[in-house]
Chains A and B, each alone.
Chain A
Amino acid sequence: MKEAARAAAANLDGMSSIPPMARYLDQDGELLEDQPMSDEMALDGYRVMLRGRRFDERCVSLQRQGRMVTLAPGIGQEAATVGAAMALNQKTDWFVPQYRELAGQLWHGYPLRLAFLWHVGHPIAFQMPAGLNMLPFQAAIAGQLPQAVGLAWGLKMKRDPGVVLAIFGDGGTSQGDFHEAANLAGVMKAPVILLCQNNGWAISTTIQQQTASETLAQKAIAYGFPGVQCDGNDLFAVYATVRDAVRRARDGEGPTLVEALTYRLGLHTTADDPTRYEPREMHDAWVDRDPLRRMQLHLMSRGVVDRPALDRIEEEVKEELRVAWDEAQQEPAPDPRFYFAQVDGEPSERLALQLRRFGR
Chain B
Amino acid sequence: MAELTVVEAVNQALALEMERDERVLVFGEDVGIIGGVFRATDGLFEKYGNARVIDVPLAEGAIAGAAIGLALAGWVPVAEIQFLGFAHNGFNQVVDQLARVRYRSAGRFSAQVTIRAPYGGGVRAPELHSDAFEAHFAHAPGLKVVAPATPDDAKGLLLASIRDPDPVLFLEPLRGYRQVKGPVPDGDYIVELGKARVAREGTDVTVVAWSAAVQIALQAADDAQAQGVSVEVIDLRTLVPLDVATLASSVAKTGRAVVVQEAPLTAGFGAEVVATIQEESFFSLQAPIRRVASPDVPYPVQMLEEHYIPNAERVLQAVLATTRD
Contacts and interface: CB of A to CB of B under 8 A. Distances in A.
Interface of A: 123-124, 126-128, 130, 135-136, 140, 143, 145-155, 157-158, 160, 176-177, 180-181, 183-184, 187-188, 338-339, 341-345, 348-351
A181 B109 CA distance: 21
A143 B66 contact: no
The residue among A146, A151, A176 with the most chain B CB atoms within 10 A of its own CB is: A146
Given A127-B108, A143-B92, A181-B62, A151 B97 contact: no
A348 B61 CA distance: 28
B146 interface: no
A136 B66 CA distance: 16
A152 to B, nearest CB: 7
20 contacts: A127-B107, A128-B109, A130-B108, A136-B106, A136-B108, A146-B61, A146-B68, A146-B69, A147-B65, A149-B62, A149-B69, A150-B67, A151-B69, A151-B73, A152-B69, A154-B70, A154-B75, A176-B89, A342-B103, A348-B241
B69 A143 contact: no
B244 A150 contact: no
A212 B93 CA distance: 27
Contacts of A135: 72, 105, 109
A128 B108 CA distance: 6
A350 B106 contact: no
B228 interface: no
B242 interface: yes
Contact of A145 (B65, B70, B102, B166): B65
B70 A183 contact: no
B29 to A, nearest CB: 12
Nearest to B113: A150
B194 interface: yes
Contacts of B51: 157
Across chains A and B, which 5 residue pairs bring their CB atoms closest together, nearest first?
A146-B65, A150-B69, A154-B73, A150-B66, A151-B69
A149 B61 contact: no
Contacts of A151: 68-70, 72-73
Nearest to B106: A127
A154 B54 CA distance: 12
Interface in B29-66: 51, 56-57, 59, 61-62, 64-66
The residue among B62, B73, B166 with the most chain A CB atoms within 10 A of its own CB is: B62
Contacts of A339: 103
B66 A147 contact: yes
Contacts of A176: 61, 89
A320 to B, nearest CB: 24
Interface in B71-129: 71-75, 89, 92-93, 96-97, 102-110
Contacts of B102: 342-345
Interface of B: 25, 51, 56-57, 59, 61-62, 64-75, 89, 92-93, 96-97, 102-110, 141-142, 144, 164-166, 194, 240-242, 244-245
Contacts of B66: 146-147, 149-150, 153, 184
A150 B70 contact: yes
A344 B65 contact: no
B241 A136 contact: no
A147 B69 contact: yes
Given A181-B65, A349-B244, A342 B59 contact: no
A335 to B, nearest CB: 12
A180 B57 contact: yes
Contacts of B57: 180, 183-184, 187
Contacts of A184: 56-57, 59, 62, 66
Contact of B141 (A130, A157, A343): A343
Contacts of A350: 241-242, 244
Contacts of A127: 105-108
B119 to A, nearest CB: 22
Nearest to A181: B62
Contacts of B74: 154, 158
A140 B96 contact: yes
A162 to B, nearest CB: 8
A344 B142 contact: yes
A160 B103 contact: no
B76 to A, nearest CB: 11
A153 B244 contact: no
A5 B31 CA distance: 39
Nearest to A166: B69
A341 B165 CA distance: 14
Contacts of B141: 343
Contact of A341 (B64, B107, B110): B107
B165 to A, nearest CB: 4
B141 to A, nearest CB: 5
A143 B56 contact: no
Contacts of B104: 126, 136
A337 B67 CA distance: 28
B166 A143 contact: no
Contacts of A150: 65-70, 72-73
A177 B93 contact: yes
A149 B70 CA distance: 9
B111 to A, nearest CB: 9
B90 to A, nearest CB: 8
A145 B69 CA distance: 9
Nearest to A141: B92
Contacts of B164: 345
A163 to B, nearest CB: 12
B96 to A, nearest CB: 6
A341 B92 CA distance: 23
